[in-house]
Amino acid sequence: MALNSVVIVGAGQGGFQVAASLRQEGYQGNITLIGDEPGLPYQRPPLSKAYLLGKISATALLFRPEDFYTQQNIELVHDQAVAVDRNNRQVRLASGRSVDYDHLVLAMGAHNRPLAVPGAEAQGVFGIKTKADADALAPLVKEARNVVVVGAGFVGLEFAAVAAANGATVHVLELGDRPMARAVSREMSELFRCAHEGWGVHFDFRQGIGHILTEGGKVCGVETVEGKRLLADLVVYGIGVIPNLQLALEAGLDIDNGITVDSTLLTSDPHISSLGDVAVFPCIHNDQKLLRLESVQNAVDQGRAIAARLVGKPAPYTALPWFWTDQGTLKLQIAGLSNGCDSTVMLGAPESNQLSVLCFRQDQLVAVESCNRPGDHMAARKILARPPRLTPAEAAAPGFELKVWEAANRD
């Protein structure tokens, strides 16, 4: 059956990509892109770093200028989807409008895990998820003298580097025992810890926040669960995200820590697809186990895959996951998934902030983490995109170079 109308709920990276790719694939039907934020769809990764530093403008954040949507005949709706009527194939919006669909794409993304401690509602306490968050935070970070960051993940450390660059005293509280513990190897954690400390950032590991101290409704400090007190005129937290599942739950779709989709990104309803941070899919790079990935690459590639299927070119989603974070002078790029890694090989010189960590599981290369070694990252993506044959012994040999090995071992 020909699709006359595709409705996309969520105007972030994944939702935008579906709309843009549908037109690139030659789809001629109606496209409605529903976003619950004002303004044009925009990139989120720069919010916690380049945008806060003023290195890129609000215009540069946009995926496309306004005339793109007119020229491509994409209806951009600023409203909130509140219900999906699967029987009549309609999406009901908060304004009362109903939008008919032949196929629906759910790309609602995720929201920040809240900082559930007393005082979290005080002025000067922020999560960073939207442009509005960053706009409110930008003038404050220029003036802040004492900053506490809760969480040593990507977003927390990106902001810590920004605050330190602005001259603030920065303390990072982290429940784990090292930076980015869920994402990278101990070797890479150590490089980033040393670099941040060199920029003046102080870490308190195995420390949780007990409550936020306030004065006149504004934050003035924090107290850890162990009773340690830190001055703070600004608190920023990055303690993970929670997928936006309410719409799918109420619609009766299958849920498992995300909207469950098959290998082609279809939900339990054949007229509904899902992608990005809100979806869990069988990942060939994770032994076909269900996985929910929070990355721009995943949202973009899944958006392209859904668009291709909707114009009659179905294929299983097999894209290699990759990630990045920019922190101060460090650019970390990760190819593959390192869960279950049982051995590593290091390339480069960590003392000069140039390091690649090759992660192996049962002697098979599963991921490569590269700091300030972009050539290694690009080679790793090529190696991991096909069945990798590189062994730990080869990688550990004197003079080994990943780019050279990749070039010599292309099929």
Confidence of residue 8 (pLDDT cuts 50, 70, 90): very high
| Residues 153, 240: Cα–Cα separation, whole Å | 8
Is residue 101 predicted with pLDDT exceeding 90? yes
Question: Do the beta carbons of residue 20 and residue 64 sit within 8 Å?
Answer: yes
Residue with tokens 């941070």: 277
Tell me which H or E stretch contains 214. strand 209-215
Among 238, 249, 257, 15, smallest CA distance to 147 is for: 238
Domain 5-111+242-310 has CATH 3.50.50.60: yes
Mean pLDDT throughout 197-201?
Answer: 97
pTM for this structure?
A: 0.95
What's the first-to-final CA gap in the chain, in angstroms? 40
Mean pLDDT throughout 389-393?
Answer: 93
Confidence of residue 1 (pLDDT cuts 50, 70, 90): low
CA angle 225, 230, 234 (to 5 degrees): 110
Confirm whether 5-111+242-310 and 329-408 share one CATH topology. no
Among 34, 2, 30, 36, smallest CA distance to 15 is for: 34
Mean pLDDT throughout 206-215?
Answer: 95
Is residue 304 predicted with pLDDT exceeding 90? yes
Question: So where are the chain's domains?
Answer: 5-111+242-310, 125-239, 329-408
The CATH class of 125-239 is alpha beta
The 10s digit of each residue's pLDDT in 314-333 is 999 999 999 999 999 999 99
CATH topology of domain 329-408: Enolase-like; domain 1 (3.30.390)
Residue 298: C-alpha distances to residues 88, 159, 182, 360 (Å): 31, 23, 18, 22
Question: Do the beta carbons of residue 48 and residue 162 sit within 8 Å?
Answer: yes
Is residue 84 predicted with pLDDT exceeding 90? yes
Average pLDDT taken over every residue of the chain: 96
| pLDDT value of residue 388 | 74
Cβ density class 106-120: b for 16+ within 10 Å, e for less: bbbbbebeebebebb
| pLDDT value of residue 75 | 98
The 10s digit of each residue's pLDDT in 246-286 is 999 999 999 999 999 999 999 999 999 999 999 999 999 99
Return phi, psi of residue 8, to 5°. Answer: -120, 120
The 10s digit of each residue's pLDDT in 146-174 is 999 999 999 999 999 999 999 999 999 99
